[in-house]
């Protein structure tokens, strides 16, 4: 702390202009340091998370041709739903005005599940109950993330991006079942869902 210049007599209510300036300068310097530390912290966070996540946004930039979604490639109808291949659980889904395909998704608990989804018409999004499964679905791009579900049970999966007049009716269900039950159902090459047939 630097020395405060001698105060004139009369107490703190009659500080000299130079002493008041001194106090203001100290307060400003203190706030400049605090703001500087916050900015430095944010930059460090950006660099660490950017490098840690391979310097890409979390959803990665993977494109897909909207015009041929239903005709060929990964998102043809027969390939939608949950697959179990090479020990990996992958859920493929499509969002369109105003539904998800499939309408009911089966996943195991306690095992990593990778979601891959896209939209056919406009921007949609989904979240699964109160879990951290949450993504936007943008036409032309494949959204992908991996998560795991701790508890079994049925969750609602609403669309959370306003996508038109039918938006509030756009939702699907996710059934989280025990891993043993899932593995008993899953057969390589097949796509699982809980849509009533």
- Cβ contacts of 99 within 8 Å, gap of 6 or more: 170, 172
Which tokens go with 90?
């992958």
The smaller minimum CB distance to Cu ion, of residues 113 and 170, is found at: 170
Tell me if 94 sits within 8 A of 75, measured CB to CB: yes
Q: Which among 25, 28, 47 is positioned nearest to 36, based on CA atoms?
A: 28
Q: How crowded is residue 81: how many other Cβ atoms within 10 Å of its Cβ?
A: 21
172 binds Cu ion (CB under 5 A): no
159 binds Cu ion (CB under 5 A): yes
Going residue by residue from 108 to 147, which x/- string records binding to Cu ion, judged by CB under 5 A? ----------------x-----------------------
> Looking at the DSSP assignment, which residues form a beta bridge with residue 154?
175
Tell me the closest approach of the beta carbon of residue 104 to Cu ion, in angstroms: 17
By beta-carbon proximity to Cu ion, the closer residue of 128 and 177 is 128
Nearest CB to Cu ion, comparing residues 80 and 192: 80
Exposed e or buried b per residue across 15-37, where buried means at least 16 C-beta atoms within 10 angstroms of its C-beta: beeebeebeeeeeeeeeeeeeee
Tell me whether residue 93 or residue 159 sits nearer to Cu ion (CB atom).
Answer: 159
To Cu ion, the closest distance from the beta carbon of 127 in angstroms equals: 12
Number of residues that bind Cu ion (CB under 5 A): 4
Min CB(137)–Cu ion separation in Å:
8
Three-class DSSP category at 113: strand
Shortest Cβ distance from residue 159 to Cu ion (Å)?
A: 3
163 binds Cu ion (CB under 5 A): yes
In this chain, which stretch among 3-11, 22-30, 62-70, 166-174 interacts with Cu ion, using CB under 5 A?
166-174
Nearest-angstrom CA–CA distance, 12 and 156: 64
Contacts with Cu ion by CB under 5 A lie at 124, 159, 163, 170
């Amino acid at each position: 702390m630097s020395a405060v210049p001698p105060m004139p007599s009369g107490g703190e209510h009659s500080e000299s202009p130079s002493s008041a300036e001194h106090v203001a300068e100290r307060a400003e310097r203190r706030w400049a340091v605090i703001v500087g530390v916050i900015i430095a912290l944010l930059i460090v966070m950006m660099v660490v998370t950017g490098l840690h996540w391979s310097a890409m946004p979390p959803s990665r930039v993977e494109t897909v041709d909207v015009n041929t979604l239903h005709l060929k490639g990964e998102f043809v109808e027969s390939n939608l739903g949950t697959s179990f291949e090479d020990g990996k659980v992958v859920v493929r889904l499509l969002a369109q005005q105003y539904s998800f395909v499939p309408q009911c998704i089966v996943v195991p608990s306690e095992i990593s599940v990778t979601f891959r989804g896209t939209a056919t018409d406009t921007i949609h999004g989904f979240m699964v109950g109160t879990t951290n499964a949450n993504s936007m679905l943008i036409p032309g791009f494949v959204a992908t993330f991996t998560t795991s579900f701790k508890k079994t049970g049925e969750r609602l999966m609403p669309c959370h991006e306003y996508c038109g007049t039918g938006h509030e009716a756009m939702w699907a269900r996710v059934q989280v079942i025990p891993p043993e039950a899932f593995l008993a159902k899953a057969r390589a090459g097949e796509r699982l869902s809980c849509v009533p047939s």
